[in-house]
Amino acid sequence: MLEDKTITRPILRSFQDNLIQRLGPDEGRALDVLGKDFFYLVDQLAAKLFEQHEKDAPLLDLSESEFPWELQVFANQFLRECAQSSWQLTHFCQGLRNKLEDTEFDQEFWKILDEAYQHHFYVTDSKNHYLV
């Protein structure tokens, strides 16, 4: 019998699970108030960024386990900055999730997110070449 030697990607923990682990179950679950769309978007944005920029981890001096968490933190911050206020975050995320189904909007959104990624993770040592 042949052994399956395909390389599998590590399973990324959800942002909410990571928060529960770091904050504790009570504090982590209290964040449910942010809504399912918020946590869905953080996980989806971070996962796609991870796929696109997986090789950036060593450039940023992050381990393979730290990088996905840092991407989740970045996606969290990005979404919070996009919403005009913390009380609008839930409605903003619900609307954004629906708008991302529009291909044209999705493409423009990812251009903005990628630029924000570049600014957030820009390191002085990579002055001559942005992270790719």
pLDDT computed for residue 129 by the predictor: 52
108 CB contacts (<8 Å, ≥6 apart)?
none
Provide the residue range defining the domain that includes 106: 39-122
Question: CB burial class (10 A; 0-12, 13-18, 19+) of residue 15?
Answer: buried
* pLDDT in 10s for each residue of the chain, 132 residues: 444 444 445 557 899 999 888 888 888 778 888 889 999 999 999 999 999 988 888 878 887 888 999 999 999 999 999 997 878 999 999 999 999 999 999 999 999 999 999 989 875 555 555 554
Identify which of 131, 12, 17, 127 has the alpha carbon closest to the alpha carbon of residue 66: 12
Predicted local confidence at residue 122, as pLDDT: 74
Backbone φ, ψ for residue 110 (5° rounding): -70, -30
Confirm whether pTM is higher than 0.75: yes
Structure tokens at 131: 């992270």
Answer yes or no: is 45 within a domain. Answer: yes
Q: Please check whether residue 28 lies inside any domain of the structure.
A: no
Query: pLDDT at position 1, please?
Result: 45
